[in-house]
């Protein structure tokens, strides 16, 4: 059966943290409607990345629930969950292999679709002119990525993870933006790509470090010390 049909998320009393230490998330509760675009902000250490990892069950919650489209995610297989939710991590680790393999490891999609994702994320260099955008890293889908992607810049690695998200079109996409080390042009490129047609219908949680990046989002979730301190429209905050 098809699940999830919508990207509706309900987080109830979520407590989570790292092994052998005190919890980082102290009972978070909030709900996100299908297709809503949520900006997540908070000081360094507030628990933003921990929340993202807990939603993916990379960290298991010690109590509370995550309900995605009516189903408690603790009760479904990890593989299914990770198909339903795509994360663009703060520091992505890529596969050693071709660009094609990184975007579409199971060979589900056409080259045209993969090229589209590369173009939208400005990762594709134009072979005829030899020029690309400031961030272009690849000339073909057969380019090989080695060293888990560490030959690329952090911004480029995030763009590859974003291109993968465009290809997958998951119902829920979580973007954990890299910190200020990523330049404004890359940041803008990511925002433009994530607002494109592919993910127009997906629920988006974007962890951002610059307020101006998310000022036109539907709502802003403000975290502090593992708690929700505000959750409202940018206008009301
Ligand atoms: P930033 O804006 O810097 O990315 P953040 O809001 O994403 O910060 P988290 O990475 O979620 O913050 O960290 C929240 C807390 O969890 C911090 O106190 C941090 O030290 C702790 N923490 C993060 N990762 C680990 C880990 N792998 N093991 C133990 N503690 C961790
Ligand atoms: Mg973080």
In whole angstroms, what is the distance from residue 37 CA to residue 47 CA? 19
Query: Domain range spanning residue 38?
Result: 34-55+83-232
- pLDDT at res. 182: 76
pLDDT band at 210 (very low <50, low <70, confident <90, very high): confident
CA angle 137, 142, 144 (to 5 degrees): 60
Alpha-carbon distances, residue 2 vs 6, 45, 69, 84 (angstroms):
10, 36, 11, 10
Asked if residue 156 belongs to a domain, the reply is yes
- pLDDT digit string, tens, across residues 32-73: 999 999 999 999 999 999 999 999 999 999 999 999 999 999
Higher pLDDT, 78 or 129: 78
Asked if residue 132 belongs to a domain, the reply is yes
ipTM computed for the complex: 0.98
Residues linked to residue 221 through DSSP beta bridges, in sequence order: 40, 231
- pLDDT at res. 45: 96
Do 223 and 229 touch, CB atoms closer than 8 A? Answer: yes
To the question of pTM greater than 0.80 for the whole model, the response is yes
Q: Which residues line ligand 1 (CB under 6 A)?
A: 18, 21, 24, 42, 44-50, 90
Asked if residue 25 belongs to a domain, the reply is no
Residue nearest (by alpha carbon) to ligand 1 atom 22: 18
Q: Residue 41 CA: which ligand is closest?
A: 1
Residues linked to residue 37 through DSSP beta bridges, in sequence order: 204
Domain count, the chain: 1
Asked if residue 2 belongs to a domain, the reply is no
- pLDDT at res. 134: 60
| Tokens matching residue 37 | 């675009």
- pLDDT digit string, tens, across residues 135-177: 788 999 999 999 999 999 888 999 999 999 999 999 999 999 9
Residue to mutate (ligand 1; options 16, 19, 49, 90; most atoms within 8 A of CB): 49
Q: Which strand (E) or helix (H) includes residue 40?
A: strand 37-41
Asked if residue 68 belongs to a domain, the reply is no
Asked if residue 69 belongs to a domain, the reply is no
Dihedral sign (CA 24, 58, 172, 32): negative
CA of 40 to the centre of ligand 2 (A): 10
Average pLDDT score over the chain = 92
Dihedral sign (CA 203, 100, 89, 187): negative
Asked if residue 76 belongs to a domain, the reply is no
Do 224 and 26 touch, CB atoms closer than 8 A? Answer: no
CA of 146 to the centre of ligand 1 (A): 28
Asked if residue 78 belongs to a domain, the reply is no
Domain at 200, CATH number: 3.40.50.300
């Amino acid at each position: 059966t098809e699940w999830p049909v919508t990207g509706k998320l309900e987080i109830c009393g979520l407590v989570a943290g790292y092994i052998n230490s005190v919890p980082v998330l102290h009972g978070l509760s909030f709900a996100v409607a299908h297709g809503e675009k949520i900006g997540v902000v908070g000081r360094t250490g507030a628990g933003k990345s921990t929340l993202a990892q807990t939603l993916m069950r990379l960290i298991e919650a010690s109590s509370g629930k995550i309900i995605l489209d009516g189903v408690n995610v603790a009760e479904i297989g990890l593989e299914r969950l990770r198909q339903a939710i795509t994360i663009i991590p703060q520091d992505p680790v890529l596969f050693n292999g071709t660009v094609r393999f990184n975007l579409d490891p199971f060979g589900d999609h056409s080259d045209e679709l993969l090229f589209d994702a590369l173009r939208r994320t400005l990762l594709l260099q134009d072979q005829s002119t030899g020029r690309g955008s400031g961030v272009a890293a690849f000339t073909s889908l057969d380019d090989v990525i080695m060293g888990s992607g560490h030959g690329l810049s952090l911004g480029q690695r995030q763009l590859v993870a974003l291109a993968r998200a465009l290809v997958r079109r998951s119902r829920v996409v979580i973007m954990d933006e890299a910190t200020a080390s990523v330049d404004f042009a890359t940041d803008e490129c990511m925002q433009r790509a994530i607002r494109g047609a592919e993910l127009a219908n997906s629920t988006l949680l974007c962890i951002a470090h610059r307020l101006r990046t998310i000022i036109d989002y539907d709502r802003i979730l403000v975290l502090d010390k593992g708690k929700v301190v505000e959750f409202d429209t940018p206008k009301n905050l």
